[in-house]
Amino acid sequence: MHVARNAKEYKMKILLSVVILFLSVAPAQAALKVFTCEPEWAALVQELGGTQVTVASATTALQDPHHIEARPSLIAKTRQADLLVCTGAGLEAGWLPPLLRTAGNPKVQPGQPGYFEAASAAALLEVQTRADRAEGDVHPGGNPHLHLDARNIMRVAEQLATRLKQIDPANAAHYAARRADFARRWQTALARWEREAAPLKGMPVVYHHRSWVYLAHWLGLKEVGVLEPKPGLPPTAAHLTQLLTQLKGQPARAIVRSAYEDGRADAWLSERAQIPALVLPYTVGAEGADDLFKLFDITIARLKEPVLSPSTVLRIGQSKEATR
Ligand SMILES: [Zn+2]
């Protein structure tokens, strides 16, 4: 009896395994394999491709996209990809070229339909002349953090949807429908974000890294300082001291950094200048930003905290002053 039941269970298990295997293999065979350099583009590809794509990102929201290691798993994913979606503008200059070389996938090499750069869809800010370039500067081709102007997401979406259709013409109607649906939802959200962010116009902020230039350009934030002396160079004691002196004469409402950045310099300056240090998601996958919509919902809500409750910030400042 016991043996018989075991045999029955065994058969059942085999059957289940076959079903699971079929379910997991079937869509993967049909879907376009897309590999992205950053999570924001993986989220966008998922919006535009739906069930017709399988997406993976080389970096997470807790990794610095300027610097990652080309691990074997990344090489394998690049080798299998039908489409590679990256920011460009030099953001991945330190790791993508060797990754592409090692993977040796002809479909996703620069210039091929399987290679897509978001920077080609948006106007870049802070484009430098050769003479401006400093050693260690990680933005030699202009500022690459273009996804934080939500209007750029739509610009990239338009071109990305066209590219998906080009690579996978059999599903052209599917991509067209998803593109239209995304555009409708994004335009509605854009109007709401711009309304919600109206009180942020002119708000003086200090950046950790120049990740917030496009967000500031879009919402009208005013940059009054940057913790990094040059993009990509860690904050130095001399630079922070100078910034502290400057902030005493020209105060800021917040010091902002990405979830992946070390917050020690921010905390140092926050305490001394009595300015709140904020952690923003920067991309999809951190601080509760599960998708592109939440990324901007959370970013705007968090930036408004010091605006909505200046008395709280002031009280913290006063109590600290009183204990000295
Ligand atoms: Zn950067």
pTM: 0.86
pLDDT band for 137, please (50, 70, 90 cuts): confident
pLDDT band for 306, please (50, 70, 90 cuts): confident
Contact 53, 46 (CB under 8 A): yes
92 CA to centre of ligand 1 in angstroms: 10
Task: Reply yes or no on whether the pLDDT at 7 is more than 80.
Answer: no
Q: Return the CATH number of the domain spanning residue range 199-323.
A: 3.40.50.1980
Question: Could you tell me the fold of the domain covering 32-193?
Answer: Rossmann fold (3.40.50)
How high is the pLDDT of residue 141?
81
5 CA to centre of ligand 1 in angstroms: 61
How high is the pLDDT of residue 140?
80
139 CA to centre of ligand 1 in angstroms: 6
The proportion of the chain whose per-residue pLDDT surpasses 70, expressed as a percent, equals: 84
173 CA to centre of ligand 1 in angstroms: 36
32-193 against 199-323: fold identical: yes
Task: Reply yes or no on whether the pLDDT at 157 is more than 90.
Answer: yes
Residue 97 to residue 92: CA distance in whole angstroms: 8
64 CA to centre of ligand 1 in angstroms: 9
256 CA to centre of ligand 1 in angstroms: 14
103 CA to centre of ligand 1 in angstroms: 25
Mean pLDDT calculated for residue range 79-104: 96
Mean pLDDT calculated for residue range 188-216: 98
138 CA to centre of ligand 1 in angstroms: 6
Domains of the chain by residue range:
32-193, 199-323
pLDDT band for 30, please (50, 70, 90 cuts): low
| Residue 204 host element (H or E) | strand 204-207
Task: Reply yes or no on whether the pLDDT at 317 is more than 70.
Answer: no
239 CA to centre of ligand 1 in angstroms: 18
How high is the pLDDT of residue 282?
98
How high is the pLDDT of residue 319?
38
146 CA to centre of ligand 1 in angstroms: 10
82 CA to centre of ligand 1 in angstroms: 27
246 CA to centre of ligand 1 in angstroms: 23
24 CA to centre of ligand 1 in angstroms: 37
How high is the pLDDT of residue 308?
73
Contacts from 271-277 at CB under 8 Å and sequence distance 24+? 271/320, 272/244, 273/244, 273/247, 273/248, 274/313, 274/316, 274/317, 274/320, 274/321, 275/206, 275/247, 275/251, 275/313, 276/305, 276/306, 276/313
Contacts from 228-234 at CB under 8 Å and sequence distance 24+? 230/134, 230/135, 230/136, 230/137, 231/137, 231/138, 231/139, 231/143, 232/66, 232/136, 232/137, 232/138, 232/139, 233/136, 233/137, 234/265
231 CA to centre of ligand 1 in angstroms: 6
Contact 66, 87 (CB under 8 A): no
142 CA to centre of ligand 1 in angstroms: 9
Residue 44 to residue 64: CA distance in whole angstroms: 19
Q: What is the Cα Rg of the chain in Å? A: 23
137 CA to centre of ligand 1 in angstroms: 9
148 CA to centre of ligand 1 in angstroms: 12
